[in-house]
Chain A
Amino acid sequence: MFTISFTRWPIIGSPTFVGLKNYYRLLHDEIFLKALKNTLWYALITVPSITSFSFALALSLRGITWGREFFKAIYVFPMVVTLVSTAAIWKGMYLPFGPLNQLLVNLGFSPVEFLSVGLVIPSLCLVLIWRDIGYYSLFFLAGLEEIPSEILEAATVDGAGAFQRFRYIIWPMMKPVTLLVCILVTIGSFMIFTLVYVITGGGPAYSSEALLNYIYDVGWREFRMGYAAASAVIYFFILFGLNMFERLVFERG
């Protein structure tokens, strides 16, 4: 992988060594920088929202005893359905006269162009959020179930309110799970490819292009393997760095 990234390789024929030229060109490649920026946006939007919403959902699921298993099964359902299918269905949801816009109109709002330049990234994030919240809430739920209820009861007896119980008992005990979910969502948002590929194809005007889509385009539409490999290497290091950063934040905070 690393070796390929130092070469020029138009698939047919053999690679020629070009040194760091690929990397140099990448840093001046507008589309690459755009894809990089988009991918960071995907992560920036999905990580906090999925983490907090799934935590909240798990908290409410914890208070439910009757039918909990049923809800769990429903919540992972979008994870079970092939992502391509989900993407195709949401492509339909976002149609200009699709169900979402009909809903908006019925509620008295004006229709929205979900896949326009300005809105396309939040729209795609929404699909990811919709799909992942239930799944990650199961992680939080598993963590919550491990907190002994005696501690919480003792705190209640001592006069701790709901917020205090959360702040001083639940939150510290849930930190490892939260970190795990953050890292998983970060990786997940960096791996966003299928959604973009099916719903927008990276458009309009590269406004939703993610890094993996860029790598795919360069590698398999333009057949520039060395260049694609170089962007994959950069992609890997950014992802790695982000995970390290999240680990640091959680160990400090």
Chain B
Amino acid sequence: MKKGTLYLIAILWAVIVILPFLWALRISLIPTYTTFVSFFPKSLSELSLVNYEYLLFKTKFPRWMINSVLVSGGATFLNVLACSMLGYVLARKRLPGSNVIFTLVLALLMVPYHILVIALYLGLSKVKLTNTLFGVILPLSANPFGVFLMRQYITMIPREYEEAALVDGCSRIGALFKIVLPQALPAVGILTVTMFMETWNNFILPLVMLTKDSMKTVTVGIADLAFQTLNTNWGVLMAGSLLGAVPTVLVFVLFNRYFLRGLTLHGGLK
């Protein structure tokens, strides 16, 4: 095919992908939603931030954002910690049963975690973790993909460095954090970015775990806004949808490279 046609297809799809978001932006900037809005504003004075104001001061949206940041941040941090430790052990030490553990990790990769939500919910409500942020963080903090990623990466790192450190009197934990992890930085980067995205986007787990309005994460909050009875306030809903996506988009823009690599890796393993 000719180059021109190819570019036409590529540009056309890019436009189709972007348009709904632009529409949402447009709707979020008009005070009251009416059905016949022209896509392009006639003048700048037509636009207003009323919806954003409403969102920030009349709803619990800021609180939801904070909750989401805490959950995603906490789960991501714990993931990096747990996955690198377990990955390290699986990569280095020949413990009895480590093969079994690794097979289990691989098996878990195949199971969509949605199926486990019931079991998770029942277990966590038994230890009174419903309606706490920790109850959402905990189940998300040891992702099988992360363990797999870290194990594979650490296996490729020569073990001579840490052995030298161990001989010099460094502890195992010290060797992991001071010697192995700095060498595994690309893997840690991929892990951090993918885990942040995944936990931020998580919906079903916070939906069942957090029922109190002030404890909700932003995803559940947006879904609530979408369900306001009778009159959905479209301007506010669109404003919330866009603001709720800002952190992941930011991470994507900043760490584009890690994210794209992580995506194909992640998919390739499933």
Contacts and interface: CB of A to CB of B under 8 A. Distances in A.
A75 B12 CA distance: 11
B222 to A, nearest CB: 5
A230 to B, nearest CB: 10
B45 interface: no
B21 A81 contact: yes
Interface in A47-81: 57, 60-61, 63-64, 67, 71-81
B9 A90 contact: no
Interface string B1-19: 1010111011001101110
Given A74-B18, A135-B263, A139-B267, A1 B204 contact: no
Contacts of A243: 110
B167 interface: no
B237 A90 contact: no
A112 interface: no
A93 B270 contact: no
B156 interface: no
A88 interface: yes
B135 to A, nearest CB: 15
A184 to B, nearest CB: 6
B51 interface: no
Contact of B17 (A64, A78, A194, A235): A78
A225 B122 contact: yes
A75 B112 contact: no
Nearest to B16: A130
Contact of B27 (A64, A92, A228): A92
A241 B123 CA distance: 28
A187 interface: yes
Interface string A80-105: 11111111111111010111001000
Interface in B226-255: 226-227, 234, 237-238, 240-242, 244-245, 248-249, 252
A236 interface: yes
B170 to A, nearest CB: 39
Contacts of A183: 270
B8 to A, nearest CB: 9
B6 A184 contact: no
Contact of B122 (A4, A63, A85): A4
A52 to B, nearest CB: 14
A239 interface: yes
Interface of B is mostly: helix
Contacts of A84: 201, 203, 219-220, 222-223, 241, 244
A193 interface: yes
A198 interface: yes
Contacts of A57: 9-10, 13
A98 B26 CA distance: 13
B44 interface: no
B111 A236 contact: yes
A87 B226 contact: yes
B115 A83 contact: no
A180 B112 CA distance: 16
A142 B20 CA distance: 27
A61 B10 contact: yes
A212 to B, nearest CB: 6
A35 interface: no
A232 interface: yes
A92 B111 CA distance: 33
Contact of B112 (A4, A82, A190, A225): A190
A215 B116 CA distance: 11
Contact of A191 (B21, B112, B200, B249): B112
Given A89-B24, A197-B223, 14 more contacts: A75-B14, A84-B244, A87-B226, A187-B270, A191-B114, A193-B204, A194-B223, A198-B223, A198-B226, A198-B227, A201-B227, A216-B207, A219-B118, A235-B115
Interface of B: 1, 3, 5-7, 9-10, 13-14, 16-18, 20-21, 23-24, 27, 35-36, 39, 110-112, 114-116, 118-119, 121-122, 125, 197, 200-201, 203-204, 207-208, 218-220, 222-223, 225-227, 234, 237-238, 240-242, 244-245, 248-249, 252, 256, 259-260, 263-264, 267-268, 270
Interface of A: 1, 4, 11, 57, 60-61, 63-64, 67, 71-93, 95, 97-99, 102, 130, 133-135, 138-139, 142, 162, 180, 183-184, 187, 190-191, 193-194, 197-198, 201, 212, 215-216, 219-220, 225, 228-229, 232, 235-236, 239, 243
